[in-house]
């Protein structure tokens, strides 16, 4: 009986500045029969996966989880979990308005409204920050869980529109609360996954994103979401 010869297939390493891709090619030696070729599409898929993972890991470095009071955040922009009227409210909304003082409410009243609505669900508006240490307050309106649909897209949109406003106003750092996780009833684990997914998008890699959570339990949920996202 003839024993098939097993020989290594050497892979030519392309020029790249990505250390993960270089490491992949440096260690890739496939034991295979001489008449069996590894298809280019498989190699390409593996390389692209490693590139995406590298980008995601770098973007994760710009996300910080903080258990604390968002009104004390020393960032360029603080995101307020606002309601559509933008006239203050309870929870984070009320805390930010109290800390910022009457100037914030005056700035909100200057935002054009339609039937009392200054910012629909999924959108965001930016104003001055009053007495806060931040330059701006970005008012993001998340969905009311079970009422505003599709809730996941609206929540992602609220985060993304906030980041877009921050970028367009030259911000380098931003602090988020857990949008929609208070009286609006969004399940925290689902909300954390959406928040982290948006925060790691490549277009926001230059922005440092802080997530301020009011309890140890919420901080743990966001930390787990970030850790899980790193291994996807």
Residues acting as catalytic residues: 93
Question: Can you tell me the distance from the alpha carbon of 203 to that of 160, in angstroms, rounded to the nearest whole number?
Answer: 10
Q: For 2, phi and psi rounded to 5 degrees? A: -85, 125
Determine how many CB atoms are found less than 10 A away from the CB of residue 223: 16
- State how far the alpha carbon of 84 is from the alpha carbons of 29, 110, 112, 159, 211, in Å: 58, 14, 12, 15, 22
Beta-carbon contacts of 63 under 8 Å, excluding residues fewer than 6 positions away, are: 196, 199, 200, 209, 211, 226
- State how far the alpha carbon of 166 is from the alpha carbons of 78, 138, 176, 202, 216, in Å: 10, 8, 12, 15, 27
The answer to whether the peptide bond before residue 150 is cis (omega within 30 degrees of 0) is yes
């Amino acid at each position: 009986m003839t024993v098939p010869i097993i020989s290594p297939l050497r892979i030519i390493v392309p020029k790249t500045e990505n250390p993960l891709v270089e490491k992949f090619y440096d260690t890739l030696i496939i034991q295979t029969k001489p008449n069996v070729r590894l298809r280019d599409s498989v190699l390409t898929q593996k390389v692209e996966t490693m590139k995406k993972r590298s980008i995601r890991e770098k973007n994760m470095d710009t996300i910080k989880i903080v258990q604390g009071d968002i009104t004390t955040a020393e960032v360029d922009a603080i995101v307020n979990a606002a309601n559509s009227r933008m006239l203050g409210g309870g929870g984070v909304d009320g805390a930010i308005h109290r800390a910022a003082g009457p100037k914030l409410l005056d700035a909100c009243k200057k935002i054009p409204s339609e039937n009392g609505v200054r910012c629909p669900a999924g959108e965001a508006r930016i104003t001055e920050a009053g007495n806060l240490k931040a330059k701006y307050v970005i008012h993001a309106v998340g969905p009311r869980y079970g009422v505003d649909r599709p809730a996941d897209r609206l929540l992602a949109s609220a985060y993304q529109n906030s980041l877009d406003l921050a970028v367009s106003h030259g911000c380098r750092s931003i602090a988020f609360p857990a949008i929609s996780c208070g009286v609006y009833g969004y399940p925290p684990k689902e909300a954390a996954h959406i928040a982290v997914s948006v925060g790691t998008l490549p277009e926001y890699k230059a922005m440092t994103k802080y997530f301020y959570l009011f309890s140890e339990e919420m901080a743990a949920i966001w930390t787990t979401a970030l850790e899980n996202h790193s291994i996807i």
